[in-house]
């Protein structure tokens, strides 16, 4: 089967290959004696906190399905070993209830699971038809029976039975941070590796002075643990739902030195550079901040040129990347003013070619 290949006995070899590819990419960096890459491994199974499946109807039976990469034909699934154990436990129970209820089966075309290390689980059921009272009546007892949260979705319709988020707890150096993770918003898919990423970032910013600027903060995933190492933090994010979650997470964790700003990194960079003024910053005196460190976790496209020019002004840069190729391109520019002090590889996605990377840069004096 070419849908996916999960061979735990080959995990280490596959990871080594990805790390060697990352090393080859870094060879274009003109810095002598690059630090060794610290590699953070993943569990070899049951590591994904998110999973989504097509729904395939065949006669009177409905199945979870994914497409075979080569033949494009559906492959029916009874389990998904890369997903969290509670997702695997839930899959047959939920499908059994769906197959026993024509209201739930009718024009159901996708099911999405979102869970956490605390096993708080949300299921989104997506339909090619309007969701009505019959559906709510049919799914409500199943929600209680399975102990999960359920959302029904169809075109221009979202039915929330109780809530559309899960609660996560991540531990960093013995301290537990609580997070609200919203359905439909980005969260790190591999929670165990996420804890390692957070710990690495916190450890590499200990004994910091001054303030922190964070770009692309999401729901505050890195913001919360990093805030303990700085006097004040400004964190930016463009997604409204992520900003709302970040605000709630700040309150939930009793953190009082963080300000969240709903802006793109490009706009905030222009504000920092005094190219433009923005109403959303009217109550924030940027000149009062003494930024020593910037944290960036950009999308796969990496950083734009203007943002790179802005972060070059900081003494310390913490860069988390989901794309080593664009990271390397950015590093070519950043190493004009900074040196690489630490390198890390985080295996968020075992059995794939994807690798997350972390870099600590210090300004050259």
Catalytic, 322? Answer: yes
Are 325 and 25 in contact by the 8 Å Cβ rule? The answer is yes
Q: Which of 168, 195, 237, 356 is catalytic?
A: 356
Q: Which has the closest alpha carbon to 184: 286, 284, 52? A: 52
Neighbours of 121 (CB within 10 A): 21
Catalytic, 194? Answer: no
3-state secondary structure of 269: helix
Neighbours of 2 (CB within 10 A): 9
| Chain center to CA of 99 | 33
What is the spatial distance between Cα 298 and Cα 303, in angstroms, rounded to a whole number?
6
Q: Which has the closest alpha carbon to 112: 170, 171, 158, 73? A: 158
Q: Computed from CA positions of residues 185, 189, 191, 194, in that sequence, does the dihedral angle turn out positive or negative? A: negative
Q: Which of 237, 322, 336, 353 is catalytic?
A: 322
DSSP β-ladder status, 165-172 and 258-262: unpaired
Residues annotated as catalytic (active site), given as ranges: 322, 356
């Amino acid at each position: 089967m070419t849908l996916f290949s999960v061979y735990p006995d080959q995990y280490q070899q596959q990871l080594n290959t990805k790390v060697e590819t990352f090393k080859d990419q870094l060879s274009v960096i003109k810095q002598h004696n690059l630090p060794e890459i610290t590699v953070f491994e993943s569990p070899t199974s049951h590591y994904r906190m998110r999973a989504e499946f097509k729904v395939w109807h065949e006669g009177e039976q409905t199945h979870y399905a994914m497409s075979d990469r080569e033949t494009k034909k559906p492959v029916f699934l009874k389990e998904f070993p890369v997903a969290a154990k509670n997702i695997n436990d839930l899959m047959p129970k939920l499908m059994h209830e769906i197959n026993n209820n024509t209201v739930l089966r009718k024009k159901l075309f996708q099911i999405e699971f979102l869970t956490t290390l605390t096993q708080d689980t949300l299921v989104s059921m997506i339909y090619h038809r309007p969701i009505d009272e019959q559906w709510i009546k049919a799914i409500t007892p199943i929600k209680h029976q399975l102990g999960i949260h359920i959302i029904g979705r169809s075109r221009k319709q979202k039915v929330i039975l109780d809530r559309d988020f899960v609660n996560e707890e991540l531990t960093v150096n013995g301290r537990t941070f609580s997070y609200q993770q919203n359905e439909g918003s980005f969260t790190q898919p591999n929670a165990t590796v996420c804890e390692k990423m957070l710990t690495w970032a916190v450890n590499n910013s200990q004994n910091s002075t001054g303030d922190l600027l964070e770009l692309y903060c999401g729901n505050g995933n890195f913001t919360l643990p990093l805030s303990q190492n700085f006097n004040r933090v400004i964190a930016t994010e463009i997604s409204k739902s992520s900003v709302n979650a970040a605000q709630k997470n700040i309150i939930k964790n009793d953190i009082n030195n963080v300000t969240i700003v709903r802006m793109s990194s490009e706009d905030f960079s222009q504000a920092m550079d005094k190219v433009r003024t923005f109403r959303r910053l009217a109550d924030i005196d940027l000149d009062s901040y003494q930024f020593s460190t910037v944290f960036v976790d950009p999308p796969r496209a990496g950083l734009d040129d203007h943002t790179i020019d802005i972060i070059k002004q900081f003494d310390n840069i913490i860069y988390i990347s989901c794309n080593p190729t664009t990271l390397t391109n950015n590093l070519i520019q950043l190493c004009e003013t900074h040196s690489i002090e630490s390198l890390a590889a985080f295996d968020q996605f075992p059995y794939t070619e994807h690798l997350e990377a972390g870099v600590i840069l210090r300004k050259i004096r």
